[in-house]
Amino acid sequence: QVQLMESGGGSVQAGGSLRLSCAASGYSYMGRRVGWFRQAPGKEREGVAGIASDGTTTYAEPVKGRFTISKDNAKLYLSMNSLKPEDTAVYYCAADRSYGLTIPTLHYSSYDYWGQGTQVTVSS
């Protein structure tokens, strides 16, 4: 049974930084495509960053240049810098069950496994 668990969320002031982590059990990030999503109150879940099996990355336009996605065999990370109040949301990690996919994606339907989410709150 695959389980993903996010950590590292919290409250920061605008301009601050946070680093989210996603630990997996029953799943290895090696050779897999994974990503981060977020959902703000009253809004739909949106893709934030994705990383393919070969390390190729993609980012949503609002976070380009501020967020960095990375992974090792054990964890998925999202480094968030220059945070803005509009980044406030619950952040979710997501994982694809397939191997070897070299195109990163921010499409919700591409992912098979989801974490429970971690809250990020950015105050002005």
C-alpha R_g of the chain: 13
Residue 74 is predicted with a pLDDT of 87
Percent of the chain with pLDDT over 70: 100
Q: Distance between CA atoms of 28 and 97, rounded to whole angstroms?
A: 10
pLDDT in tens, 2-41: 999 999 999 999 999 999 999 999 999 999 999 999 999 9
Phi/psi at 81 (5° precision): -120, 165
Residue 9 is predicted with a pLDDT of 98
Mean pLDDT calculated for residue range 54-63: 97
> DSSP character for 43?
S
Query: Which residues does 57 contact at the CB level (< 8 Å), separation at least 6?
Result: 49, 50, 51, 69, 104
Q: Distance between CA atoms of 74 and 123, rounded to whole angstroms?
A: 31
Mean pLDDT calculated for residue range 52-69: 97
**Banded pLDDT at 65 (limits 50, 70, 90):** very high
Reported for 74-77, long-range contacts at CB under 8 A and 24+ positions apart, including other chains, are 74/23, 74/24, 74/29, 75/21, 75/22, 75/23, 75/24, 75/29, 76/21, 76/22, 76/24, 76/29, 76/34, 76/36, 76/51, 77/19, 77/20, 77/21, 77/22
